[in-house]
Structures are given as structure tokens and as C-alpha cells.
Amino acid sequence: MEAISRRTMITGMGKAGLAVLALESLSLPLMVGCSFTSDLQKAIDLIPTAESMAVGIGTIVTIATGQGALAPAEAALIMGIGTLVKGGLSDLLAVIDAYKSAPSSSKATAFGKVETALTALQQNLANALRDAQVKNVSVQTAVAGVLTLVSGVLGDVEVLLGVAPAAVKSARLKASKNGKITIPSNKELAMSYNALVRVNFPGAVIAQ
């Protein structure tokens, strides 16, 4: 898959500055009751579950390879996608944590790294969905479903941060109720993932 170039870091105010303030409120106890802050943190809290789902892609490959359902080149391709997505999610959590601990003078730059990580990971997911073409329908369906779930989690984070591309924002709001994004619980996300893998790849099921 093609490399993703880094975007220019955001140092000004305007839209980026407002988004910085939104993310900054995550670390303020007095803001916890705010519905926006609550939804944003809830969306971010789904990322570790998304990481488990990415690890599950590797398990799908192992099971399918053992069944003779994947050619070696196909197995390597899908395994690489799972590793790439898992690494991207870990990097995203790291820059979010770095933002929270950054001094005020560095908040804008730290936020730029959060936006860059989100954008790069979403692009990698789009590339993965394009490239993850294998002959086995069960593997193809499961992997595409997992990648779509992960992309949905990231889309919600982007929308709530105010940095989502227009197409992503439109898609997430269309899937929402009354124009308000409903963030699933970790259990609900895990259930959606498990529904994709339980029948053909039971060893890839994650805890709910």
C-alpha cells in the first residue's frame, strides 16, 4: 500500500484551535458532565477494542491458512493489513495521551499530531479495503467488515473533534439518530465484530 505523507502541523486557531479546546476539555474534571466531552471520550475509549479487532485479523489469517483457504501471498497481505491497522491505532492513542500531557504552549502542535494520525490511519484503512482482495469469500467478508467497523470508530472521533472530512461527517451523521451520533459501548462494538467472525473464525472472537 502506498505511503501516507504527513500533513502540515496546525499551529493557528480557527477551526483547529476550537478543536484543540474540545480535546483539551477531556482532561478537565469539571467538564466531564458535558455531553460533547462525554461522547468524545466514549469514542476514544473504543480504540483499544478496535485494536483487539485488528489483532483478530491476524487470527483470521492463521485459521484460514490452516484450513488451506488462503494462498501464502494472500495470507501475507491480510496479515500485513492487520499489523498496519493495529500499529496505527496504538500510535493514535499515544498522540492523544501526549496531547493531554502537553503544556498549553504546545497544545496546538500536539493536536496537529492527533489530526495527522487520524487522517493517516483513515487513509490506510481505505487503502486496505481496496487492497484486501482474496479469493476466499469468508475471509474477504470478515476482513472487510472489521476494517469498516474500525473506520467507523475513527470517523466518530473525527466528527466529535470537528476535523472530519465532509464525506466522513455526512456518512456518520446519516447513520445517526436525530442528527446526533450515538457512540456504541465497548460491548456493543465487540458484539458487532464477533458477529462477523463467530461462524467461520470462532478463534478470533474477542471478549465482550
CB 54, CB 93: distance < 8 Å: no
Check pLDDT > 90 for residue 143.
yes
Does residue 19 form part of some domain?
no
Mean pLDDT of the chain: 84
What pLDDT, on a 0 to 100 scale, did the predictor assign at position 33?
33
177-182 contact pairs (CB < 8 A, 24+): 181/39, 181/156
Check pLDDT > 80 for residue 26.
no
Crossing angle (nearest 10°) for helices 14-24 and 107-131: 100
What percentage of the chain has pLDDT greater than the value 70? 82
- pTM confidence score: 0.81
Highest mean pLDDT among 10-14, 91-95, 99-103: 91-95
Does residue 17 form part of some domain?
no
Mean pLDDT in residue range 40-45: 93
Greater confidence (141 vs 5) lies with 141
Burial 6-45, CB ≥16 within 10 A → b, else e? eeeebeeeeebeebbebbbbbeeeeeeeeeebebbbbbbe
Count of the separate structural domains present in the chain: 1
Domain that holds residue 169: 33-204
CB 186, CB 45: distance < 8 Å: yes
Cβ neighbours of residue 145 under 8 Å, at least 6 residues apart? 196
What three-state secondary structure class fits 165? coil
What pLDDT, on a 0 to 100 scale, did the predictor assign at position 142?
97
Does residue 22 form part of some domain?
no
Does residue 100 form part of some domain?
yes
159-204 tens-digit pLDDT: 888 888 888 888 877 777 777 788 999 999 999 999 999 999 999 9
Does residue 12 form part of some domain?
no
Which residue, chain included where needed, has cell 500485513? Answer: 80
Check pLDDT > 90 for residue 21.
no
